[in-house]
Chain A
Amino acid sequence: GENVEQHPSTLSVQEGDSAVIKCTYSDSASNYFPWYKQELGKRPQLIIDIRSNVGEKKDQRIAVTLNKTAKHFSLHITETQPEDSAVYFCAASKLGGNKLVFGAGTILRVKS
């Protein structure tokens, strides 16, 4: 089955700097890759996703890139702000598949 690895487990950046979180997946048939943000004590919420027919997707300060050949995808947050501090999870699945496989999560701390 699918296995998703996520790095780093913790990441501290200075406010205004960029943050990058990387994930690798094992199943070459996976073609849907969402990213979820979970603030302390709250539920995970989808912040961006990408499908395998594109290599990059942007939404304001957030972008995701996908390298299908290497089977890895990354979350990029630019101009980080204190409210970006949270746990971020990547996931992978097949479109038409019935479940997501999640990475272990990255704790992002933005220091002001």
Chain B
Amino acid sequence: DGGITQSPKYLFRKEGQNVTLSCEQNLNHDAMYWYRQDPGQGLRLIYYSQIVNDFQKGDIAEGYSVSREKKESFPLTVTSAQKNPTAFYLCASGHLPGSYNEQFFGPGTRLTVL
């Protein structure tokens, strides 16, 4: 299960606060992804990055921001503009798209807005 880590495991936020979720990988993967998981809705893509200093919006990017200053790190900020941020957040990484598209997931961060 090693190789991709997320912190913290649990996070509580008051309404109106921004919070940043950490994601680190030592798998030498170029691509990194952030997903949101809600009951009954599967995994929805928030943002992804295929190379340092570049990232693209996924299907539900509104209210979120990311950065990719290092290959190993892809932090996600949940801003106060995100209307319903309580969810389980999963980070993943993988090789650049090619013949092998497997993604490896971190253990997740459960965010609760109080």
A residues contacting B by CB (< 8 A) are: 6, 9, 32, 34, 36, 42-46, 49, 89, 93, 95-105
A contact patch SS? loop
| Bound: A96/B101 CA distance, A | 8
The answer on a CB contact under 8 Å between B40 and A104 is yes
The answer on a CB contact under 8 Å between B105 and A96 is no
Known: A34-B101, A46-B102, A49-B102. A99 touches B43 (CB 8 A): no
In this complex, the member of A34, A99, A104, A105 whose beta carbon has the largest number of chain B beta carbons within 10 angstroms is A99
The answer on a CB contact under 8 Å between B108 and A43 is yes
The answer to the question of B41 belonging to the interface, with a C-beta cut-off of 8 Å to chain A, is yes
The answer on a CB contact under 8 Å between B105 and A44 is yes
The answer to the question of B50 belonging to the interface, with a C-beta cut-off of 8 Å to chain A, is yes
| Bound: A6/B41 CA distance, A | 11
Interface size for B (C-beta < 8 A) is 25
Kindly list the 9 A-B residue pairs having the minimum CB-CB distance in the complex, ordered from nearest: A43-B105, A104-B42, A102-B43, A102-B42, A44-B105, A105-B42, A96-B97, A32-B101, A43-B107
The answer on a CB contact under 8 Å between B97 and A95 is yes
B residues contacting A by CB (< 8 A) are: 1, 31, 33, 35, 40-45, 48, 50, 56, 58, 90, 97-99, 101-103, 105-108
The answer on a CB contact under 8 Å between B48 and A98 is yes
A82: min CB distance to chain B, Å: 21
The answer on a CB contact under 8 Å between A103 and B42 is yes
Known: A34-B101, A98-B50, A102-B35. 19 other contacts (CB 8 A): A43-B107, A44-B43, A44-B90, A45-B105, A89-B43, A93-B101, A95-B97, A95-B98, A95-B99, A96-B98, A97-B101, A98-B97, A99-B33, A100-B103, A102-B42, A102-B43, A102-B44, A104-B42, A105-B40
Smallest CB gap from A32: residue in B: B101
